[in-house]
Amino acid sequence: MPLTTVGKIFKPQLRRDATLEIVTEILRDWLALPDAEVDVSAGGPRGLRVAMTLGQTDAGAAEIVEQALAAYLFESTVGVAAAS
C-alpha cells in the first residue's frame, strides 16, 4: 500500500495501481492478449492516462481493446509494437 511521508494512504498511486491491475486483467484474461504491455501515468483530462502496446500478432485487436475500455474514466491509447 503506497503511503505518504506521514503514513496516510497515497491515493494517486493507489489509483494508478488499481487501474494497472484491472486493465491488465481485461487484456490478458478477458481479451486473451497475454503479450500486451500496460503503462499507467498521471495526466489526461480525467487524471489518469493508460497507454497499451499490443504485439504485432494482436494488431487487429486494437479496436476491441478501445471498445472494452471506453466506459472507464481514464484516457486510454492503444498502439502496436514496432516490428523487430
The pTM for the full model equals: 0.84
Greater confidence (70 vs 9) lies with: 70
Beta bridge partners of 42: 48
Say what the pLDDT of residue 62 is. Answer: 94
In CATH terms, is domain 11-80 a member of 3.30.300? yes
Q: What does the domain layout of the chain look like in residue ranges?
A: 11-80
Could you read off the pLDDT of 19-61 as tens digits, one per residue? 999 999 999 999 999 999 999 999 888 889 999 999 988 989 9
Length of the chain: 84
Q: How far is CA 55 from the centre of its chain?
A: 15
